[in-house]
Amino acid sequence: MAPAVSQTPQPLTLARQALAFGLGNAAAFASRVTGRGTGASIKGAIMMKIDPGLFRRLLAGKRIGVVSGTNGKTTTTHLLTAALRESVHDPRDVVTNPDGANLREGVVSALSTRPKAPIAILEVDEQVVPDMIRYGHPEVLIMLNFSRDQLDRHHEINALGRKWREALLAAGDQGPVVVANTKDPLVVWAASAAHRAVWIDMGTGWAQDAALCPNCGAVLTHDADQNWDCPGCELTEMPPDYRVDGGDVVRADGERQELGLKVPGRFNRGNAVCALAAAVEMGVYEPVALHGMRTVEAPAGRFAIGTYASAGARPTKARLVLAKNPAGWAESLLVMESDPVVLAVDSAIADGTDVSWMWDVEYERLRGRRVIATGPRASDLAVRLSYAEVDHEVIPDMAEALKGPFDSTVDVLSTYSAFLRLCRMGGVELK
């Protein structure tokens, strides 16, 4: 699909845009030097306040790939960006929002760093997807999954799926090619409204948010291989065009390629296959895309190693893993390798204030290992660990929890706000 043709802005518009860029950059700098964050969101908010038309205008004329869903947006965006950058002469021709600022403000902030870049790969919050389809006219939209997440901020996931479906129906043949997770019934229902879909079996196992058919309300059935179907209507799991098999990606024709990723976990192999399919749809030769994706190591701090003051002779080394909801925690527990393992939970606005989701996570997987519960909601987590019969201790202060001493690198799984603090404490850059 050819990108939309942009018109040259008028002088007054250009002057307003220049003012927005200047003040936004100043606010971002202030945010960084005061330790409040990367500054991406406040930068975008100020820019849009001064120039409300920036969101639409900065999107115009670009080839755009969009990544959304409850889990895996940031890593998938990094993987797709790496694939596209590997395919162009100048990597600066591909602009992205690497720090995960994915509301309209974050998108504007990212695009303003390279306003003339011809390609944009954007992580987008689930609620922003309809506007991206309407105004950005993306070539490709990756739909990862729908899971309960921050229900004090989001509507129920079925409402989000309905908005995506309606936006795709309205776009018709001018809408994006959708790269969609065939294991998620709500994703399949929404994606079936696209003019073309590429179906991915991501190889992950979370199904607790997919009991009822989003189309007719019937109870979905699952066979021994966890393939799903609706007995009440035509909605069913679609045959995959790509699937994950161990560490490989397998096409529908049986062709197999090793992924060879540096980021761990089966969920990231699923993310990578989605990114690979999207890159191919955007014209990238598959081996080139894989070569680029294999360079991704710690997207926005995920799986990075932080360094912390220790009670022992040497500082603590900690591998930081981020999970924001029960589906993410269920998958992330599978990559926790250390003993002990540290679990950090907060309930700030960015996390969602309701932590009842902890009762849906199978912490029983940690039986036999020592667990350190930390963060502002460590006591709530300790109650859940007690019911799971997991040996644990409570150290609410995260700096104290990481003093150790530990024999080797310790795995730390945390919610978003705790993760950001751990990155700052451990000298991990969010890039």
Model pLDDT, residue 149: 61
Name the residue with higher pLDDT: 31 or 161: 161
Indicate whether 152 pLDDT > 50: no
Which of 386, 270, 414, 213 lies closest to 329 in space, CA to CA? 414
Per-residue pLDDT tens digits for 277-296: 999 999 999 999 999 999 99
Catalytic site positions = 354
The pTM (predicted TM-score) of the whole model is 0.92
Asked if residue 330 lies in contact with residue 399, where contact means CB atoms within 8 angstroms, the answer is: no
Indicate whether 2 pLDDT > 80: no
Indicate whether 205 pLDDT > 60: yes
Fold of 11-27+37-298: UDP-N-acetylmuramoyl-L-alanine:D-glutamate ligase (3.40.1190)
Q: How far is CA 38 from CA 17, 91, 178, in A?
A: 21, 22, 31
**What CATH number belongs to 304-426?**
3.90.190
Model pLDDT, residue 9: 62
Residue 218 token pair:
């019937």
Per-residue pLDDT tens digits for 313-363: 789 999 999 998 888 999 999 999 999 999 999 998 888 888 888 999 999
Average pLDDT score over the chain? 92
Numbered ranges of CATH 3.90.190 in the chain: 304-426
Query: Predicted confidence band at 32 (pLDDT cuts at 50, 70, 90)?
Result: confident
- Once rounded to an integer, what is the mean pLDDT over residues 56-77? 96
Please state, in angstroms and rounded to a whole number, the distance separating the CA atoms of residues 115 and 107.
11
Q: Which residues are annotated as a binding site?
A: 213, 216, 230, 233
Q: How far is CA 186 from CA 147, 159, 163, 198, 230, in A?
A: 10, 10, 11, 15, 12
Model pLDDT, residue 1: 46
Residue 161 token pair:
């799926």
Please state, in angstroms and rounded to a whole number, the distance separating the CA atoms of residues 290 and 55.
31
Numbered ranges of CATH 3.40.1190.10 in the chain: 11-27+37-298
Pairing relation of β-strands 256-258 and 248-251?
antiparallel
Pairing relation of β-strands 242-245 and 248-251?
antiparallel
- Once rounded to an integer, what is the mean pLDDT over residues 377-381? 97
Indicate whether 113 pLDDT > 90: yes
Q: Which residues are annotated as a binding site for Zn(2+)?
A: 213, 216, 230, 233
Indicate whether 100 pLDDT > 50: yes
Residues in Cβ contact with 281 at an 8 Å cutoff, skipping those fewer than 6 apart = 139, 140, 177, 179, 198
- Once rounded to an integer, what is the mean pLDDT over residues 26-38? 81
Which of 102, 96, 104 lies closest to 69 in space, CA to CA? 102
Please state, in angstroms and rounded to a whole number, the distance separating the CA atoms of residues 141 and 1.
13
Query: Predicted confidence band at 14 (pLDDT cuts at 50, 70, 90)?
Result: confident
Per-residue pLDDT tens digits for 351-378: 888 888 899 999 999 999 999 999 999 9
